[in-house]
């Protein structure tokens, strides 16, 4: 008999409302270790909001979210969930990498500092070691030699690749991508996707909110289609994208092609 494997992400009936607007109406899903999952869906479907709940950048209204078996954002005591303090949350987030649509590189730091600062400050890695690691990551994202550049001196695609390296420098067990190519000029999308492809091949667990269907089809193990705050359909990437079962998925995919 084999032990049941703890999933990397487990969402149980996650709900979120902004005032009267229900953005997430009970999301239940799980992502296994090493799996690459793409979240698809029209804008406003709640996929980014869900992603932001996974590292508690967004506070859910009810439900539970576990990463590697650990409850995110709350302490369970008796029958209530108590929200963690800012510094407790910081500790949890150190294991969860995130890449943003608008890169959000630190404007007051150069590329090398952007990548090496968090490991130095938040993991206690020695500066020398952190910088060596940062250089190795820069090589991986094809940006050797740009250590001293400031974010504003880089193109969008370069900034996003630095942002990926920055997240990886914390050695996360899970990577969240929030529409990583949506703010990019079309000719720069490829360079970011190829870094993500490399990452997927290396076995990183990835949850990707994206509109890049061909990327999802080729790289994702599974896609989850969301609409109006619920999961409409999920399954192996190719089968959901090529032969969607649900009518809403079909309409969405038709419009995307």
Partner 1 sequence: MSEQKIIPARNPGQVAIAIVLLFGVGLLIYLVISSPFITWAAIPQFILDETVVDGIKLTILFTVLAMVISIVAGALLAMMRLASNPVLVNFAGLYIWFFRGTPLLVQIIFWFNIQLFIPSINLGFVVLDTNSVVTAFVAALLALSLNEAAYMAEIMRGGLMAVDSGQGEAAKALGYTPVQAMLRIIFPQALRVIIPPIGNQTISMLKTTSLVSVVAAQDLLTRVQNIYARNFLIIELLIVASIWYLLMTTVASGLQYLIERRLGRATYEAPAVWRAAMRILRSEGSKG
What the block records as the tokens of 156 is 């969008």
* Closest separation in Å from C-beta 86 to partner 1: 4
What the block records as the tokens of 157 is 């695609």
From 75, 90, 185, 246, residue interacting with partner 1 (rule: CB under 8 A): 90
Per CB under 8 A, contacts with partner 1 among 154-193 are 163, 166-167, 170
Distance of CA 103 to the CA centre of its chain: 12
Candidates 98-106, 132-140, 199-207, 247-255 — which segment interacts with partner 1 by CB under 8 A? 98-106
Q: Which helix (H) or strand (E) holds 99?
A: strand 96-99
From 4, 20, 21, 108, residue interacting with partner 1 (rule: CB under 8 A): 108
CA triplet 4, 9, 14: central angle to 5 degrees? 120
> Which residue's CB is nearer to partner 1, number 152 or number 254?
152
* Closest separation in Å from C-beta 217 to partner 1: 28
Q: Rounded to an integer, what distance in angstroms lies between the CA atom of residue 97 and that of residue 55?
A: 9
Contact 47, 232 (CB under 8 A): no
Q: Is 132 in the site for partner 1 (CB under 8 A)?
A: no
Instruction: Give the torsion sign (CA, 30, 32, 33, 36).
Output: negative
> Which residue's CB is nearer to partner 1, number 96 or number 223?
96
- With CB under 8 A, what is the number of residues at the site for partner 1? 32
> Which residue's CB is nearer to partner 1, number 38 or number 120?
120
Give 191's DSSP letter. H
From 23, 96, 134, 138, residue interacting with partner 1 (rule: CB under 8 A): 96
Q: Which residues contact 71 (CB under 8 A, 6 or more apart)?
A: 64, 65, 81
Candidates 9-17, 24-32, 67-75, 103-111 — which segment interacts with partner 1 by CB under 8 A? 103-111
From 121, 171, 238, 243, residue interacting with partner 1 (rule: CB under 8 A): 121
From 152, 254, 255, 257, residue interacting with partner 1 (rule: CB under 8 A): 152
CA triplet 242, 30, 202: central angle to 5 degrees? 75
CA triplet 168, 169, 173: central angle to 5 degrees? 50
SS3 17: strand
From 4, 19, 86, 186, residue interacting with partner 1 (rule: CB under 8 A): 86
* Closest separation in Å from C-beta 92 to partner 1: 8
* Closest separation in Å from C-beta 63 to partner 1: 21
Q: Which residues contact 162 (CB under 8 A, 6 or more apart)?
A: 103, 105, 111, 114, 115, 138, 141, 143, 146, 151, 154
Q: Is 206 in the site for partner 1 (CB under 8 A)?
A: no
> Which residue's CB is nearer to partner 1, number 118 or number 226?
118
Residues that bind partner 1 (CB under 8 A): 55, 57, 86-87, 89-91, 93-94, 96-98, 100, 102-108, 117-118, 121-123, 150-152, 163, 166-167, 170
């Amino acid at each position: 008999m084999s032990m049941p494997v703890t999933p990397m992400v487990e969402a149980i009936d996650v709900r979120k409302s902004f005032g009267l607007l229900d953005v997430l109406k009970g999301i239940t899903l799980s992502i296994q270790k090493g799996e690459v999952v793409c979240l698809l869906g029209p804008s406003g479907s709640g996929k980014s909001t869900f992603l932001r709940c996974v590292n508690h950048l967004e506070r859910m209204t009810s439900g539970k979210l576990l990463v590697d078996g650990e409850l995110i954002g709350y302490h369970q005591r008796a029958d209530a969930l108590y929200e963690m303090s800012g510094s407790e949350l910081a500790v949890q987030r150190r294991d969860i990498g995130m890449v943003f649509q608008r890169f959000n590189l630190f404007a007051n730091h150069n590329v090398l500092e952007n990548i090496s600062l968090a490991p130095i400050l938040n993991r206690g890695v020695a500066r020398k070691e952190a910088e060596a690691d940062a250089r190795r990551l820069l090589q991986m994202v094809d940006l050797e030699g740009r250590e001293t550049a400031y974010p504003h001196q880089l193109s969008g695609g370069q900034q996003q690749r630095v942002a990926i390296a920055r997240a990886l420098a914390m050695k996360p067990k899970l990577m969240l991508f929030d529409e990583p190519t949506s703010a990019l000029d079309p000719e720069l999308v490829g360079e970011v996707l190829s870094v993500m492809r490399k990452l997927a091949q290396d076995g990183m667990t990835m949850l990707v909110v994206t509109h890049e269907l061909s990327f999802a089809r080729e790289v994702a193990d599974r896609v989850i289609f969301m609409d109006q705050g619920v999961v409409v359909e999920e399954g192996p990437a190719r089968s959901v994208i090529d032969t969607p079962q649900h009518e809403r998925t079909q309409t969405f995919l038709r419009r995307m092609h």
